A and B are shown apart, each in its own frame.
Chain A
Amino acid sequence: MKKVMMGTEAAARAAKLARVQVISAYPITPQTVIVENLADMIGRGELNANYMPVESEHSALASCIGASMAGARAFTASSSHGLAYMHEMLHYASGARVPIVMVNCNRALGPPWNLYCDHTDSLAQRDTGWIQYYCADAQDVLDAILIAYGVAERALLPIMINMDAFYLTHTSEVLDVPDQEKVDIFLPPYQPSTKLNVDDPKTFGNVCGADLFTSIKYKRHCDTLSLEKLWDETSAEFRGHFNRLHPTVEAYQTEEADVCVIGIGTGAGAMRLAVDRLREEGLKAGCVRLSMIRPFPLEGFKRAIANAKHMIVIDRDVSFGAEGIVAQEVKAGLFGHHGDAKLTGFIAGVGGNDLSADTIVPLVRQAISGNGTAVRAGKTYWAEVLP
């Protein structure tokens, strides 16, 4: 069924289609529409779930963890400071191996206060053990949430579906909304082999010694590494049902490309337009959108960049004192595989600045020629800095 929806509405619809059983959330702009819609769906009897209007994001994720450990499919959504406030429980969720799916609306962290798009909120949570997926459009949001439950419940790892504040949360698109019956076939009910159960009593999260601790963490690392393959397999299965593909890495015109523009999120559309323009100018350019950042999709990334020699990474985020976080990830991905590759990193489109082809084309030219308006700061260049 075709329907016009905002990204946040798509997220709520996906949670409903996934028949989530416990939703626990705390409001924050621009996530609010997601949880408002879900509360209303439950109120109207369209969704059989328990809604917990908790007093904080820390409790939102904590209660999802409790629900998931009791064997229920759990969902939450947050953004920015809310996600930061969850930090402790992010670690707990992945350590407890609960397959929670969360939507994070990528928004700038204050101060100064800013409601607009920035990826530092979720990228700063890279090391919490969550799988991180970044959406390109609202259809991607809806479909990725369904795929995510399939992946999470097989791997017993939590997944964060990231969507750009306002560019994605508050713009409307025409979506293909899958039928419930078909979703039910793709995504059967969650049936964990182990849960909190009085007929099979177990303790969870006890203190343990160093040897076992090490082995448990090693196992989690290996399971997380396997997620790139598991996501792509589950995504292929999803395509079998719904004829849409959502890979961990998306390449555009990279096969013969010398220059490869790399980024995450909604900026990918502008990157493709920029590539078209640069090709008209005779530059052999391509672009890559990383939809997965954790685990880093190394195999897909290596295939996607093909033989490009110059990587240009656009980061809507920064690791202060270092460089863009995606640039760091890409460097780590290149190391040992593309020893002679050059990388130029830009910080652009943060705090509500638009990331259009008009922004990106001059940055690519600057990366090649060395001339442009982006300001060098350490290993990276900042675009759109006030003089």
Chain B
Amino acid sequence: MKYVDEFRNLGLAKKLAEKIRQIMPSEKINLMEVCGTHTQNFCRFGLDKLLPENLSLISGPGCPVCVSPSEYIDTAIEISKNKDVLMLTFGDMLRIPGNKSSLEKERAKSSDVRMVYSPLETINLAKKNPQKKVVFLAVGFETTAPAIALSILQAKKEKLKNLYFYTCLKLIPPAMFFLLQDKRLRLNGFLCPGHVSAIIGTKPYEFIPQGFGVGCCVSGFEPLDILEGIYFLLKQIVEKKPRVENQYLRVVTRQGNLEAQKIMRQVFLVEDSIWRSLGKIPQSGLKIRSEFSQFDAQKEFPFKRKISNVKRTTKCKCGDILKGLISPLGCPLFSRICSPEQPVGPCMVSKEGACNAYYRYH
């Protein structure tokens, strides 16, 4: 496949790995990848085996369904119990545990919950089911937000009266700012997400080297992209010149996709947002503007997102894993009690989750 196969060239990958070993400092280096697809491909292609032992790649909060708070799932479940509701969701959300249940379990009982691949399918399903209130669980980062925004604009254009979006959209740079303030995380660099950056560009990361002295490199997802991104970051560390570099030149620019940003701004406002296990992060979420409130599920289904008193009594370490404090292998439940077939925490459910990737490829 064009633009894929050439970036999986084994000879060049080995050469890059050798160059990484040559410039690798002797001390321990921690790089964080803030994208679930990086985590997944890092494990899938066995890149960890090619890298020096004192280089750690730590997974950050880069899996959108993993960072959706359990209260969000609980509320989605409550909405899905309405007999006139048809709930639509990306596949990964189905099995994410709330405090008591999951959408998959509720679907097995009586809720009408269906999986969609694209937010655009919501338009057709709303038209085909005029007797139903169609609710879409709009979860994702900057990569997905413009697609959701375009679907809301389309719903308005088609004057749909039965389509609602229950949003849990999150922004990556504020989460990186949040993590940088945690002194327990000794990060030497960020491998920044390629597809989020295709939308936002490299400019929003510039505060990181400027304010925190930590380097960034936006990288693509194929083995050569990831290895070259790591190489660039190590060079920055060795030269003591932290900056924002762009390895994913074929897709990412400094400005990003201006049209997509405009569409997002037209439909959403930035607000504080709660991330699973991280808590409230200022200005890290998106809410639907009042001009489009007829499509906002929070207006149609008045409920309070309350913090549940039900504490999940489990030794699940997803919280520490999402913060990058431990690797999935450091969780006592990993592969013993928690597996993709019987997941305890969200990081084991989604294919973009760190535990899921470690389980499948380690």
Are the chains A and B members of one assembly?
Answer: no
Chain B interface (Cβ < 8 Å from any Cβ of A): none
Chain A interface (Cβ < 8 Å from any Cβ of B): none
